[in-house]
Amino acid sequence: METDGKYPSDLSDGQWRIIERLLPKWSGWGRRPICRRRVINAILYVARTGCQWRQLPHDFPHWKTVYNIFWNWRNDGTWERVHNTLRAKVRKSAGKKPKPTAAIIDSQSIRTAEGGEERGYDAGKKITGRKRHIAVDTLGLVLAVVVHGAGWQDQHGAEWVMDKLGEQFRRLKVIFGDVAYGRSSFPDWVKQTFGWTLQTLLRPVGVHGFLVLPKRWIVERTFAWLARYRRHSKDYEKTTASAEAFTYIAMINLMSKRLANQ
């Protein structure tokens, strides 16, 4: 039974045309693969509703088939490759070059629902779980994501984010972050290792309550986009690789919608 268009999370025809050409090609060996559009719709259903894999509605392909494809594409880098290609297309459509010169970094502490690797305690937020550490461009598009234990300080966890940025974005010149990234001589390490300027954004003295800080609001908006996907309400994944993959999947859905609606 086809499910296309049955659930609000399903891909539109325009989205599917954009994503289909970016997926791995069938090798021609063995049984012809199951309809990939239905598989991606099932994965998006999990991402948007936050349901367990076993709770997928029966009009989707069998949950184990869907999970195995999610798992295989996580391990071979398909989700990240599709995400990166779409990001370049969205940037180009906005009149920007594919690779940015500026980035904004921040982390989000989130509770874990079960056990699994890389769990820790964030004493500041009083949360036991993990941190989603992301760097975004000035459009709010994710450049790098690293999920690690919440016990790591921001300036230490950010080293992994910087390593990921360094693999792809040599055009970067400046990175914006909050005052936490100014500790432990982290800006000096960034400058010496990558040649980038890490600029920390200070809160004005004497100002209390909520305040929109320059550049920082961009990454906060990206976290808000991710929060629309209930799979992100907690970290339900046993591995950090799966948690990172769901971030790519959420952004793939968002960016393909933008491109399809142009």
3-class DSSP state of 20: helix
Centroid of chain to Cα 109: 14
Question: What pLDDT is recorded for position 213?
Answer: 54
pLDDT at 172 over 70: yes
**H helices present in the chain, as ranges:** 13-20, 36-49, 63-75, 78-93, 154-168, 186-194, 216-227, 240-260
- In the chain, where are the structural domains located? 13-75, 98-237
Confidence band, pLDDT 50/70/90 cuts, at residue 53: very high
What mean pLDDT, rounded, does the chain reach?
Answer: 90
Q: What six digits make up the tokens of 243?
A: 């948690």
| HEC letters along 23-51 | CCCCCCCCCCCCCHHHHHHHHHHHHHHCC
User: What is the value of pTM for the model shown?
Assistant: 0.91
Name the helix (H) or strand (E) containing 135: strand 127-136
pLDDT at 211 over 60: no
Report the chain's terminal Cα–Cα distance, integer Å: 31
pLDDT at 18 over 50: yes
Q: What six digits make up the tokens of 212?
A: 């929109």
pLDDT at 1 over 50: no
Q: What are phi and psi of 37, to 5 degrees?
A: -65, -40
Question: What pLDDT is recorded for position 5?
Answer: 58
Backbone dihedral region of 259: left (phi > 0), alpha (psi from -120 to 50 degrees) or beta?
A: alpha
pLDDT at 117 over 50: yes
Our CA angle for 82, 85, 91, nearest 5°, is 135
Kind of pairing between the strands at 120-122 and 197-200: unpaired
Question: What pLDDT is recorded for position 119?
Answer: 85
Q: What are phi and psi of 236, to 5 degrees?
A: -85, -5
- The closest alpha carbon to 12, from 37, 36, 43, belongs to 37
Question: What pLDDT is recorded for position 33?
Answer: 72
Q: Select from 2.30.29, 3.30.420, 2.60.40, 2.20.110 the CATH code of 98-237.
A: 3.30.420
The position carrying tokens 């790098």 is 144
Confidence band, pLDDT 50/70/90 cuts, at residue 114: confident
